[in-house]
Amino acid sequence: MKSISQIIIIDDNKMDCFINQKISSLLFEKATIKTFSSSVMALDYFKNSLDKHEMISTSNIDLLLIDINMPEMNGFELLKKLEKTPLFIKKAIQVYFLSSSNIKKDINDALNIKSCSGYIVKPLTKDKLINAINTNIQNKYCSLNNNSAKTNQPDLK
């Protein structure tokens, strides 16, 4: 599995943030994990990371987990704004949407965003995260099927 040095988790549900942080830390023991319970706070972090010290730490971000349904700004809106920040312009970051939604429109909207690496249906598990990271760009949908993580491209017609 690819080496991950820094992970950012953005989810308005603090319990989901906590669980996702624990799962990520089990898989990537040496990774630094930062959580945000507000999409606006996360965007401010990326925008204000332009001073030299912060840019050094944010330039190491490898993995970004974003909840879709958040009150101030949803995950889609957030990612569109993040894509315009200097960090996203300079570095390819793996971005995965996390959602309890199995709504076809949400899945399609997520998978059609160029910088989106995948879509993971909550709850996040070690197997789902491993499969999402190991999958290729053409199979970006990770769901739970028969109690094991399965990565596939859904038929979303």
Q: Which two structure tokens, joined as six digits, stand for 92?
A: 């390819």
d(CA 129, CA 137): 15
pLDDT, greater one: 148 or 16: 16
pLDDT, greater one: 144 or 87: 87
Provide the CATH number for the domain formed by 6-152 in this structure: 3.40.50.2300
pLDDT of residue 10 exceeding 70, the answer is: yes
123 secondary structure, DSSP code: S
According to the model, what pLDDT value does residue 80 have?
93
- Please provide residue 141's backbone torsions phi and psi, each rounded to the nearest 5 degrees: -105, 120
This prediction's pTM: 0.82
Q: What is the mean pLDDT of the chain?
A: 82
Q: What is the pLDDT of residues 100-155, one digit of tens each?
A: 999 999 899 999 998 899 999 999 999 999 988 887 444 455 543 333 333 344 44
Percent of the chain with pLDDT over 90: 55
Q: Which two structure tokens, joined as six digits, stand for 43?
A: 């965007």
pLDDT, greater one: 130 or 2: 130
